[in-house]
Amino acid sequence: MRRILATTASLAGSLTSGSEEVLFIAQSDGVLGVADEMQDFVVGADEARERIDRLLARHVPSLSRSRLKALIEAGHVTLSGRTMTDAGQRVNQGDQVRLAVPEPEDPTPLGEAIPLTVVFEDDELIVIDKPAGLVVHPAAGHWTGTLVNALIAHCGASLSGIGGIRRPGIVHRLDKDTTGLMVVAKTDRAHVALSRQFADHGRSGPLERAYVALVWGRPKPDHFTVDEPLDRDPRNRERIAVRKGGREAITHVGVETAFLDGLVAEVSCRLETGRTHQIRVHMAHRGHPLLGDETYAKGFKTKTSKLPDAARLALEALGRQALHAAVLGFEHPTTGKVLHFESLLPADMQHLVDALGAPV
């Protein structure tokens, strides 16, 4: 939720509209500031008596410990409604923690000389092959060094403005550590047309999105569909969970190859919807989380010891979830031509596949 703190001389209260909450504070010295991102969670039984700074570091991994300490000391953290300024404060089970991360004074991203792998480009759009470790757009903890900064440097002013100041041209996203194909709009008409295709999820048009993933275990049967709604995990807002009443999420899965007598499998995942962490959560829900996924595969770390030395070292070198956006297809917004793109596995993920040995 985006929370705006405003001040007036005579009005105090709040107004909520959609995902935006405006708080009016009865003062006369103008606007206090803007908190771009709110992080809310409830302290669990296993987290009781933990230091607030260490708790936040685990729940908000996008921010450094030093940054979190500074935010605590500046009064940006509340514990069950009380402002905390001591980073060593201990929490209790059931405490409600809220972190407000201020946006920078000037939220306008600037161009940065970040290398891009351009697969296709014309006057309307650009298709890129995103590397691991690259955040798509500026947000709390990542105000610079993003794909948007790279695109601004590459495209100049020729990016669609529909997505807003921080997301020019962005039609869809990939997680920071997910690699592969993305399309970005360079004109407003392209942005509108592409957004419609993504909103339709390819149900009545040519949009196609397919991923390659390495998962623990061999899923059965060879082809299946996961149709489970997704929403934010109420205990950890950084996580997504299967939740009744959540947003529709559908993933079609096919087993391509199994390794090491079924210890690991390579699967293809075709998205019928595009929710945050969708493939990662759906596969974990089926009992087959992605290799290297620190968020959804923590209970599978012991399986790493069963890997051959070469594969174990390759997984450590990968250092992220083994997920790659390998196929992207859509209708060109002005020519009507159906474009289809494929991307080979990045070197680190291919190295892991090779180290797993011969398929079984």
Closest CA to 104 of 75, 73, 67, 156: 67
Domain residue limits at 164: 117-200
Average confidence (pLDDT) over 258-277: 96
Quick: pLDDT tens for 78-104: 999 888 899 999 999 999 999 988 766
Domain C-terminal end among 156, 183, 200:
200
Question: CA 14, CA 23: separation in Å to the nearest integer?
Answer: 4
Q: Which residue has the higher pLDDT, 272 or 15?
A: 272
Average confidence (pLDDT) over 346-359: 95
- Cβ neighbours of residue 241 closer than 8 Å, sequence gap 6 or more: 230, 231, 232, 233, 281
Q: Which residue has the higher pLDDT, 30 or 284?
A: 284
Q: Do residues 247 and 275 lie in contact, with contact meaning Cβ atoms separated by under 8 Å?
A: yes
Question: CA 353, CA 360: separation in Å to the nearest integer?
Answer: 13
Judge whether residue 36 has pLDDT over 80.
no
At 105, is the pLDDT very low, low, confident or very high (cuts 50, 70, 90)? low
Question: CA 236, CA 44: separation in Å to the nearest integer?
Answer: 10
φ, ψ of residue 282 to 5 degrees: the values are -65, -40
Average pLDDT, the chain: 86
Question: Is 110 part of a structural domain of the chain?
Answer: no
Q: Are residues 214 and 164 in the same domain?
A: no
* Helix ranges restricted to H, the chain: 52-59, 65-73, 147-155, 188-200, 278-285, 309-318, 347-355
Average confidence (pLDDT) over 285-313: 94
Judge whether residue 305 has pLDDT over 80.
yes
Q: How many CA atoms lie within 13 A of 172 on its CB side?
A: 31
Poorest-pLDDT segment among 22-26, 124-128, 341-345 = 22-26
Q: C-alpha 63: how far from its chain's center?
A: 15
Quick: pLDDT tens for 223-260: 999 999 999 898 887 899 999 999 999 999 999 999 99
Question: Is 26 part of a structural domain of the chain?
Answer: no
Q: Are residues 226 and 331 in the same domain?
A: yes
Question: Is 20 part of a structural domain of the chain?
Answer: no
At 181, is the pLDDT very low, low, confident or very high (cuts 50, 70, 90)? very high
At 24, is the pLDDT very low, low, confident or very high (cuts 50, 70, 90)? very low
Catalytic machinery residues: 175
Judge whether residue 12 has pLDDT over 70.
no
Structurally, how many domains does the chain consist of?
3
What is the pTM assigned to this prediction? 0.72
SS3 call for 237: strand
Question: Is 53 part of a structural domain of the chain?
Answer: yes
**How confident is the model at residue 291, as a pLDDT?**
98
Q: Are residues 215 and 344 in the same domain?
A: yes
For 99-157, the DSSP string reads EEEEPPS------------EEEE-SSEEEEEEPTT--SS-BTTBSSSSHHHHHHHHHTT
Question: CA 174, CA 146: separation in Å to the nearest integer?
Answer: 12
Q: Are residues 63 and 88 in the same domain?
A: yes
Quick: pLDDT tens for 309-340: 999 999 999 999 999 999 999 999 999 999 99
Closest CA to 73 of 94, 58, 89, 55: 89
φ, ψ of residue 141 to 5 degrees: the values are 90, -15
Residue 304: count of CB within 10 angstroms of its CB: 15
Q: Are residues 165 and 286 in the same domain?
A: no
Question: Is 14 part of a structural domain of the chain?
Answer: no
Q: Are residues 159 and 276 in the same domain?
A: no
Quick: pLDDT tens for 190-199: 999 999 999 9
Q: How many CA atoms lie within 13 A of 210 on its CB side?
A: 17
Q: Are residues 270 and 319 in the same domain?
A: yes
Question: Is 7 part of a structural domain of the chain?
Answer: no
Judge whether residue 265 has pLDDT over 60.
yes
CATH code, domain with 228 = 3.30.2350.10
**How confident is the model at residue 104, as a pLDDT?**
64
Closest CA to 296 of 306, 284, 288: 284
Q: Are residues 92 and 126 in the same domain?
A: no
Average confidence (pLDDT) over 30-45: 66
Poorest-pLDDT segment among 30-44, 203-217, 246-260, 280-294 = 30-44
Q: Are residues 229 and 275 in the same domain?
A: yes
Domain C-terminal end among 171, 200, 229:
200
Q: Which residue has the higher pLDDT, 62 or 46?
A: 46
Q: Are residues 214 and 195 in the same domain?
A: no
User: Roughly what angle, to the nearest 10 degrees, separates helices 65-73 and 52-59?
Assistant: 130
**How confident is the model at residue 309, as a pLDDT?**
96
CA separation, residue 79 to residues 42, 74, 75, 103, 200 (Å): 10, 14, 11, 21, 41
